[in-house]
Structure 1
Amino acid sequence: MSQNTVRFLYCSIVLLPKGYTSVSVTMERGSADGVQAQPGSGCPQSASNTDAKAEVSMAMVWSIQEAVARQTLQIGVSACGATAVVDVLQALGISVAPELVDGCVRTRLRRNESPLPDYLHSRSEAGATHQQLIDGAEQASDGRVLGRFFSLHPQRKVRLVPWLASWIRRGAVPVATMNMQRAVPAGEETPDAWHHQLIFGVGPNAVFMTNPLDVVSEGEVHERLCSESVLLIRREDVLQRLTNEVPLSTVSDYPDTRWKALDVEGQVKQMITEEGFSDGEQPKMTHIVIPAAYKSGVTLFTLRDSDVVHSLLEAPELPLL
């Protein structure tokens, strides 16, 4: 992190968590050991902080202006993980071509033209896991960058924003691995995937992220970070790939026993049965649930020769609630 003092005044309704109307924050970023911020009168505070203003935390990897200029737009299909790694390396002062990073992360694609069993298996692992991000960042940086994953499921005893702020101040760069099918705003369509996003800063009840550039409430992010490793598949994506050429039973022919535990085959059969119902006769399943390869949580990246690396590797797992 640069030793030069960077000041900015951010006042915009565009990048506010839903439900807020204004925010004014003057921030000074100086030495790597801390960030000082003075919330303006319009700044929201999370419920956990209302009784202790001194505990309100704010820390930034990039300023808003830097994020606008430096963020990487998604570099390819299912490549949100590789995109996040490109920005991690940038934030740590390492420039690597996006296509090289994607190759190191080994992004997996959906097999959209396959019959249903193979399609579902591809959906369960499309994109990348947090471990692929860690391995990809290390390989793309020639070993100069390492990462440490912290699981947030099952629910952990942690206040997300202060915890993230403490690591950002010490020079770590966070990436969130989230189930976007949780905390879906009322009236919006359920997303069809998990998502990796660089966290370039945190503030009172706010988490700043790239791809897309956004600020989301602490509670919303925390809920998406605390999810079982499952994925919802839309009804139409299931039914349009049914074929007599491939037995449905092969859905369960997979080393991961969760396919049988979730009775994915039975869920599909139920959807098929429902196709014989008259419209309005009874509610139909909108999705089936399949196992997902991803784990929800936060990966913290840093330079291998940084001062924070020892404490990062030695830090205990977050305690269960």
Structure 2
Amino acid sequence: EEVCACALDCSYVEAGADGAMLWSIREAVERQTVQIGASACGATAVVDVLKALGVEVPPEEADRCVRTRLRRNESPLPDYLLSRSEAGATHSQLIQGAQEASKGKVVGRFFHFHPRRLVGLILWLARWIRKGAVPVATMNMQLAVPEGEEVPDAWHHQLIFGVAPNTVFMTNPLDVGSEEEVHQRLCSESVLLIRREDVLQRLTPDCCLSGLSESRSDPRWKALDVEGQVRQVALEEEQEPDRPGSVHVTIPAAYSSGITLFALRESLLGQELLDAPELPLL
């Protein structure tokens, strides 16, 4: 963390006095909550949101209120994929969890960033942060992947504790991202890439693939032809196991990309948040 904090400090110094910060870099190092459990990045963010708003809640209570969903790693492929599509939490669960854990003291408002919005991300965040709002980004980490790095396995919720020109400061992990990189991840379709090997190791001879599209209430499973994608991966593995084929299978995701702003309910800011219009489409 010392190395990370040093890098963050350098960014902040270069940014000058234009940053809008909830916490200083050093405060973030001391106060941030490290991920509290599997798939619990949302609940972890809620712990820090409440902390930033002066409401102390045990991490296990925040996780209970957020109702984090887990991956069902031992399930047959259709149920495993369903669990992957909803593992963790949505922004709605974060808002409900923060409200419940704070006994109604904290309110949240989600702003969609997909489809792309007419907004300057840094300026927009800075304006709300200066007023005391606490932002949490819901991002598709499978976008804007640096060249040469492996595509991450999931979406991610991160508290934003400050911004500066072309710089976004986040917790869990303590990190800094460019405006372009963060904006790309905030503007994503609700889809998730599942690694080829995670599909193949659960693809048994008695696996009923028709359930991937026919019995699902969400029509996106059929629209994305998840069943066809899985059959293609199986065919590639059977015919040419030594040649690289489809790297991922794309499935629907329960999450929406964007930013949730939190504030104390009984405050002018809380009311302003609830009354604020959606960001205009580009």
Bin the TM-score by the shorter chain: over 0.9
Structure 1 pair 266–132 and aligned structure 2 pair: CA distance change class (3 A):
same
Residue 8 of structure 2 contacts residue 25 of structure 2 at CA under 8 Å; is this kept in 1?
Answer: no
Q: Deviations over 1:294-315 (max 9, x none)?
A: 0000000000112212221111
Question: Unaligned regions of 5+ residues in structure 2, if any?
Answer: none
Residue 12 of structure 1 contacts residue 23 of structure 1 at CA under 8 Å; is this kept in 2?
Answer: no
The answer to whether residue 9 in structure 2 is matched with residue 25 in structure 1 is: no
The CA distance in 2 between the partners of 1:82 and 1:172, in whole Å, is 18
The CA distance in 2 between the partners of 1:75 and 1:12, in whole Å, is 21
* TM-score (ref. length: structure 2): 0.95
Question: Unaligned regions of 5+ residues in structure 1, if any?
Answer: 1-10, 17-21, 27-36, 40-56
Aligned pairs, how many?
278
Point out the structure with the larger helix share: 2
The answer to whether residue 120 in structure 2 is matched with residue 162 in structure 1 is: no
Residues 211-230 of structure 1 aligned to structure 2 (within 5 Å): 211-230=172-191
How far apart are 1:280 and its partner, in Å?
6.2
The CA distance in 1 between the partners of 2:19 and 2:268, in whole Å, is 21
The answer to whether residue 7 in structure 2 is matched with residue 14 in structure 1 is: yes
Identity %: 70
Residue 155 of structure 1 aligns to a residue whose secondary structure is coil
Residue 206 of structure 1 contacts residue 217 of structure 1 at CA under 8 Å; is this kept in 2?
Answer: yes
1:257 — aligned with what?
Answer: 219
The CA distance in 2 between the partners of 1:106 and 1:23, in whole Å, is 36
The answer to whether residue 254 in structure 2 is matched with residue 266 in structure 1 is: no
The CA distance in 2 between the partners of 1:279 and 1:104, in whole Å, is 45
How far apart are 1:92 and its partner, in Å?
0.2
Tell me which amino acid in the other structure corresponds to 1:146.
Answer: V
2:147 — aligned with what?
Answer: 186
Q: Which residue of the other structure, out of 29, 35, 45, is the alignment partner of 1:74?
A: 35
- Greater Rg by CA: 1
Structure 1 pair 23–263 and aligned structure 2 pair: CA distance change class (3 A):
closer
CA RMSD of aligned residues (A): 1.7
The CA distance in 2 between the partners of 1:284 and 1:24, in whole Å, is 44
* TM-score (ref. length: structure 1): 0.83
The CA distance in 1 between the partners of 2:58 and 2:240, in whole Å, is 54
Residue 308 of structure 1 aligns to a residue whose secondary structure is helix
How far apart are 1:174 and its partner, in Å?
0.1
The CA distance in 2 between the partners of 1:23 and 1:111, in whole Å, is 40
1:104 — aligned with what?
Answer: 65
Residues 48-63 of structure 1 aligned to structure 2 (within 5 Å): 57-63=18-24
Tell me which amino acid in the other structure corresponds to 1:210.
Answer: T
Residue 124 of structure 1 aligns to a residue whose secondary structure is helix
The answer to whether residue 105 in structure 2 is matched with residue 117 in structure 1 is: no
Residue 109 of structure 2 aligns to a residue whose secondary structure is strand
Q: Deviations over 1:111-168 (max 9, x none)?
A: 0000100000000000000000000000000000000000000000000000000000
